[in-house]
């Protein structure tokens, strides 16, 4: 039959006294009396069958067993504390899982999420990697994605239309007075979205595709936008990826914004999810943010 382990109170008393070097210091840490600490340690020693301290008039000296025991107990109590904090951090309230393309998440949704969290502090928000290259998942509450809004089995609410715009830093823009000046610039390209440059060029009225002096290719729109912000060159991006940077003048659109609509962004979700409060709150909040986004686009010079 396995022995019952010592009580946590007795172990805590010993660990504290061993670490701090006295019963008085341990008593102050544990908010009890020195006599209570001494009694708990003595009871622990009796249960173990050996001494943990050699008691002297002015100090405590750990025995060999005490020195071997204390570090492990310290680590164990630290692990309990960490586990307790993890459990405390777990929420019992609603959970909202949003699948969203990395570029829209990084450059549009995440900067605005504190507003939603302020309104619904009890809702745990989880942002998952979505986008057209990733299938819709049933464990998501909803998804924000671009397209035509016709995903079988899903309801779709249009958030805002989008267009493509060429952007760069104000410093890079100084050499871009005419479209032909792109031949002196570095073009930033998303490897699987090369057609966006051609669409933008045609939307700007060019009969031939725009040509740059050199090209840097990235694997995602979020990296391409960041490269433009860092002054690497000129990128063609969805206006919603760069609207905040344009408003803050970290980026500029040296050739203006084409009036044409490229595609739209939607909130999509399963009908059965309509019963979930978190989806309703998020949908209502997104309506307001979408309206503000289109107002921002209008200030930047684009109306769908």
What is the token pair recorded at 101? 């393309």
Which pLDDT score is estimated for 1?
46
Domain boundaries, the chain: 8-89, 95-162+263-300, 164-247
Two structure tokens written together for 99:
């699948």
Same fold, 8-89 and 164-247: no
Buried b (16+ CB within 10 A) or exposed e, 76-106: ebeeeeeeeeeeeeeeeebebbbbbbbbbbb
pLDDT digits (tens, 9 = 90+) for 187-200: 999 999 999 999 99
Q: What is the pTM of this model?
A: 0.69
Q: What is the pLDDT of residue 49?
A: 92
What confidence tier does 88 reach under pLDDT thresholds 50, 70, 90? low
CA distance 125 to 92: 12
Give the CATH class of 8-89: mainly alpha
pLDDT given for residue 244 in this prediction:
97
In which residue are the tokens 């289109």 written? 294
pLDDT band per the 50, 70, 90 thresholds, residue 86: low
Residue 135 has pLDDT above 80, yes or no: no
Q: What is the pLDDT of residues 8-30, one digit of tens each?
A: 999 999 999 999 999 999 999 89
Fold exhibited by the domain 95-162+263-300: D-Maltodextrin-Binding Protein; domain 2 (3.40.190)
Q: What does each C-alpha distance from 209 to 171, 179, 180, 206 come to in angstroms?
A: 24, 11, 11, 7
Q: Which structure tokens are listed for 194? A: 């090369």
State the Cα–Cα distance between residues 164 and 199, nearest whole angstrom: 8
Query: Right CATH number for 164-247 from 1.20.120.450, 3.40.190.10, 3.30.420.40, 3.40.50.1820?
Result: 3.40.190.10
pLDDT over threshold 80, residue 136: no
Residue 213: other Cβ atoms inside 10 A: 12
pLDDT > 80? residue 90: no
Is 187:215 a contact under the CB 8 Å cutoff?
yes
Bridge partners, residue 187, by sequence: 215, 234
The C-alpha atoms of residue 109 and residue 101 are separated, in whole angstroms, by 10
pLDDT digits (tens, 9 = 90+) for 98-128: 999 999 999 999 999 999 999 999 899 999 8
Average pLDDT for 21-44: 92
């Amino acid at each position: 039959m396995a022995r019952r382990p010592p009580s946590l109170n007795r172990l805590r008393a010993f660990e504290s006294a061993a670490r701090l070097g006295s019963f008085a210091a341990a008593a102050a840490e544990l908010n009890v009396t020195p006599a209570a600490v001494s009694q708990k340690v003595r009871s622990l020693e009796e249960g173990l069958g050996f001494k943990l301290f050699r008691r002297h008039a002015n100090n405590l000296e750990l025995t060999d067993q005490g020195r071997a025991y204390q570090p492990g107990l310290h680590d164990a109590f630290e692990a309990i504390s960490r586990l307790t904090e993890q459990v405390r951090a777990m929420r019992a309230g609603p959970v909202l899982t949003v699948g969203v393309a990395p570029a829209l998440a990084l450059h549009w949704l995440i900067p605005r999420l504190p507003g939603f969290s302020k309104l619904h502090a009890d809702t745990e928000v989880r942002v998952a990697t979505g986008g057209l290259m990733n299938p819709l998942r049933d464990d998501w509450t909803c998804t924000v994605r671009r397209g035509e809004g016709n995903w079988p089995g899903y309801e779709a609410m249009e958030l805002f239309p989008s267009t493509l715009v060429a952007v760069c830093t104000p410093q890079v823009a100084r050499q871009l007075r005419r479209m032909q000046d792109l031949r002196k610039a570095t073009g930033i390209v998303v490897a699987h979205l090369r057609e966006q440059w051609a669409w933008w060029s045609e939307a700007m009225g060019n009969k031939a595709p725009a040509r740059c002096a050199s090209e840097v290719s990235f694997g995602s729109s979020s990296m391409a936008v960041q490269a433009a912000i860092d002054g690497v060159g000129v990128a063609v991006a969805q206006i919603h990826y760069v609207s905040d940077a344009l408003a803050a003048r970290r980026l500029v659109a040296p050739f203006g914004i084409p009036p044409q609509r490229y595609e739209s962004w939607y909130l999509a979700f399963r009908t059965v999810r309509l019963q979930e409060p978190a989806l309703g709150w998020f949908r209502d909040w997104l309506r307001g943010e979408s309206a503000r986004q289109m107002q921002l686009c209008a200030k930047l010079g684009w109306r769908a």
